[in-house]
Amino acid sequence: MGTRVLMLSLYLSLLLLMDATTAQMPGFVSLDCGGTNNFTDEVGLVWTPDNQIIYGETTNISVANETRKQYMTLRYFPADSRKYCYTLEVVSRTRYLLRATFLYGNFVNNNVYPKFDVSLGATRWATIVISDAYTIEVQELIFLATDPTISVCLSNATTGQPFISTLELRQFNGSMYLTEFENQFFLSASARINFGADNENPVRYPDDPFDRIWQSDSVKKANYLVDVAAGTEKVSTRMPIFVNSGERPPQKVMQTAVVGRNGSLTYHLNIDGFPGSGWAFTYFAEIEDMGPSDTRKFRLLLPGRPDLRKPIVNIQENAQGKYRLYEPGYYNISLPFVLSFRFGKTSDSTMGPLLNAMEILKYLKKNDGSLDGSVIASVASLYSSMDWAQEGGDPCLPVPWSWIQCNSDPQPSIVSIKLSGKNLTGSIASDLAKLGGLVELWLDGNALSGQIPDFTGCTSLKIIHLEDNRLTGDLPSSLVDLPNLRELYVQNNMLSGTVPSGLLNKNLILNYTGNINLSKGGSGGSHRKIIIGSSVGAAVLLIATITSCLLMQKGKKKYPKQDKLEPDMPAQRFVSSLGDAATEAAHCFTLSELEEATNNFEKKVGSGGFGVVYYGKLKDGKEIAVKVLTSNSYQGKREFSNEVTLLMI
């Protein structure tokens, strides 16, 4: 009597568990890509439109025999060099199933089937190859969340345009799919099979409370579940199955099975993504009535792999009773693309082997992403409302953000940031100084204010453009400590004080004009609005004075023809005509006239022979080239003086 009461109590508990799973599990996200309204589908899943993404276009499609609303729309993206990302919120240190589906429906009407990549963060998840406009392509991934958000990105279109139909996120409970490798690998679904199914419909939510898709073994695909052994028979039960352990396969899946009446179950199947290392488990529950003397014992046999022979399976004994789950498997097994397997009964068994379900997942190596991911993400978060800051995913992988360039290291770092004219306000993000590999920084043409931060952490910096902002304070002396700095543009700000002498003595193109309270220092600051080609300082004024004297002494001599100059000289005169130079007379210019003509030495047109050449235009419309000394060496000054003298001959 006590046993009957216990069984009845267990039965009622299981029925209550089944009823409880009809409510949608927490941690579910179902995005109807291209959709416009929320809706609840026929199984009770709540779908929401993907209107949080600002990129891409949406369209409706029509596919015969497809009536599910979530597949009637899609979102597509340009076939360019960018990536387009969805960002989803997750709970850190929790495992999830992520599913993306793609139903093409020939939405562009050109019969060019798309091929593109889909990535999870920095890791390439899969290449989507559409070969049939009316078949749904499904990709599933199991992962451990390590951050509060994840990014799913489409990129690298080889043909056609990247697109997506649905994006789904399902949260697992407890230790489901726990492996010792989860910090280095994702698990990509290759096969999830419901054996003994009575029709071709897959089992999923609400029968599976985690909404995994269990494909029916009745579905016939090329080279999939073939070589079925003679005597294979489908069996089923209506009794509840205790599945509340391990990976918790759904009861509906465990209530069906195949049995090898002739003592053998044999199959082979092509498994997506292999050969490679995988996670492979089988699910058993004894659902047949057996006589008191009957036994069911069998082994797994893999042809050519005697080392992988599993111990004898006795379902009732291993599961500690009938209608209970037993799930032996391999956490790390090397599998081929074509998997052949056999369950064979032992010599002392009276009944053939039984199989309820099987699941095979492939290990997908995680990419750690760029070295600067968290740093640049914090910078982008300051401008979260701007389009350029919403690209999502890793800044470098699988392709970089549109305003960033990265190097080609396996774990890349950012080498260039170009945010010119992006309406940036506030102070310059201090986190930029943490980008040790940064070579170029372009923040010009914005409304940035405050002081220039200390960039000494950016030891690779060569080019800094901060011009045309509202920056205040001193020009930091820490800039002198950047060993590779070659160009510094800070003109047209509100900087004050004096230019650090170390900057004037560096081999540096420096532009600080337009800062009325910033001077070169020295004798009284009478030349506050000066533009200097690296380390010119007083030397430039000296050369300008010498040149003026030479020009006045020589009078109106003709310029020599270019073919009389040395090969590297034509673009290197202090002042020369860009037009008909051979017929122009020499003329004396003041420094202020040169600044006006060149718009404060704004446009660089060449360099060489210890000088940099700038474009200018006189008040009468004549175009000139102005060369400015860029070396403080004795040799440089002598060569420069000789060149000026040569122009007067």
**Residues annotated in a binding site for ATP:** 627
d(CA 306, CA 251): 33
Tell me the helix, strand and coil percentages in the chain, rounded to 5: 15, 35, 50
Burial class (CB in 10 A: 0-12, 13-18, 19+), 306: exposed
Map residue 319 onto helix, strand or coil: helix
Tokens of 331: 């956490």
Burial class (CB in 10 A: 0-12, 13-18, 19+), 141: buried
Instruction: Give the helix/strand (H/E) hosting 539.
Output: helix 538-554
Kindly give, in sequence order, each residue whose CB lies less than 8 Å from that of residue 211, ignoring residues fewer than 6 positions away: 25, 28, 45, 97, 168, 170, 204, 205
Closest CA to 176 of 97, 283, 256, 278: 97
Phi, psi of 161 (to 5 degrees): -115, 140
Phi, psi of 266 (to 5 degrees): -135, 135
Q: How far is CA 260 from CA 220, 264, 386, 583, 600, in A?
A: 20, 5, 62, 103, 89
Q: Is the peptide bond before 570 cis (omega within 30 degrees of 0)?
A: no
Kindly give, in sequence order, each residue whose CB lies less than 8 Å from that of residue 353, ignoring residues fewer than 6 positions away: 259, 260, 263, 264, 265, 296, 298, 313, 343, 344, 345
Helices (H) and strands (E) counted in the chain, each on its own, are 8, 41
Tokens of 445: 């043409």
> Where is the binding site, in residues?
627
SS3 for 559-581 is CCCHHHCCCCCCCCCCEEECCCH
Q: Give the strand pairing for 463-465 and 414-418.
A: unpaired
Task: Provide the 8-state DSSP code for 506.
Answer: S
Residue listed under structure tokens 């010498």: 546
Residue listed under structure tokens 């797994």: 300
Map residue 517 onto helix, strand or coil: strand
Longest Cα–Cα distance in the chain: 127
Cβ pair 588, 551 in contact under 8 A: yes
Tokens of 377: 């993400």
Cβ pair 606, 572 in contact under 8 A: yes
